[in-house]
């Protein structure tokens, strides 16, 4: 695991890029070790993720009127989120050479992993709102949509800075990864029975 200084530097670099400062890429460790270390962002993101999985599982149980199976639901939500973190990167790895981006794969993954960690922690207050007050569920929904839109902007900036290519290439990769992510989530949630019933 990278030490605290390396983690803080990586988060600072990704955050700078997400705010439009491409020089933030200079703070990221783009070596082979830095590539693998960036996946420590996954366990570092677990506290808010676990809370989100529990909250989503409780919502399903409440709306279906069931009172058991909570752990199984939490594990299924965990599988979906973790698969959605890894699978798009594996798909990108399969086509990166054809796109002429082999040398940019490591920067893309490193920046994306640390950026994902930041976005997940930014969502923590939104997860906590409904837990503190049932009346806040609507507000949380609006804030959640806002964070989703903001995360698209952040992802665009991370893609642009890490690939260091023209707008067309950046757009192609950005849209391809976004579509892949959405399809993975929809497919896995449907297969695992995780579609939340309407209130």
Query: In this predicted model, what pLDDT tens digit does every residue of 92-105 receive, in sequence order?
Result: 999 999 999 999 99
What pLDDT sits at residue 199? 52
All residues at 6 or more sequence positions from 94 whose CB lies less than 8 Å from its CB, including other chains: none
What pLDDT sits at residue 196? 61
Q: Is the pLDDT of residue 1 over 90?
A: no
Measured in whole angstroms, the distance separating CA 194 from the mean position of its chain's CA atoms is 18
Instruction: Tell me how far CA of residue 56 lies from CA of 62, 71, 72, 119, 132, in angstroms.
Output: 10, 11, 12, 18, 15
Provide the whole-model pTM: 0.91
b (16+ CB within 10 A) / e for 22-33: eebbebbbbeee
Instruction: Tell me how far CA of residue 64 lies from CA of 159, 185, 192, 198, in angstroms.
Output: 40, 21, 16, 10
Task: Express as a percent the part of the chain with pLDDT over 90.
Answer: 75
When mean pLDDT is compared across 21-30, 54-63, 88-97, 117-126, the lowest value belongs to: 54-63
């Amino acid at each position: 695991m990278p030490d605290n200084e390396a983690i803080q530097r990586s988060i600072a670099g990704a955050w700078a890029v997400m705010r439009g400062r491409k020089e933030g890429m200079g703070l990221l460790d783009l070596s082979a070790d830095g590539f693998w270390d960036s996946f420590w962002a996954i366990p570092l993101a677990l506290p808010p993720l676990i809370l989100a999985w529990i909250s989503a599982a409780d919502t399903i149980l409440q709306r279906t009127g069931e009172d058991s199976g909570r752990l199984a639901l939490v594990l299924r939500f965990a599988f979906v989120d973790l698969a959605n973190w890894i699978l798009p990167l594996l798909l990108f790895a399969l086509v990166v050479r054809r796109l002429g981006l082999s040398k940019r794969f490591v920067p893309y993954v490193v920046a994306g992993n640390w950026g994902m960690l930041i976005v997940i922690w930014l969502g923590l207050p939104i997860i906590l709102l409904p837990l503190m007050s049932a009346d806040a569920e609507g507000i949380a929904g609006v804030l959640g949509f806002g964070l989703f839109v903001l995360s698209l902007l952040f992802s665009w900036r991370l893609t642009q800075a890490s690939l260091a290519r023209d707008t067309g290439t950046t757009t192609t990769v950005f849209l391809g990864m976004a579509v892949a992510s959405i399809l993975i989530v929809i497919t896995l949630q449907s297969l695992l029975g995780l579609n939340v019933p309407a209130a």
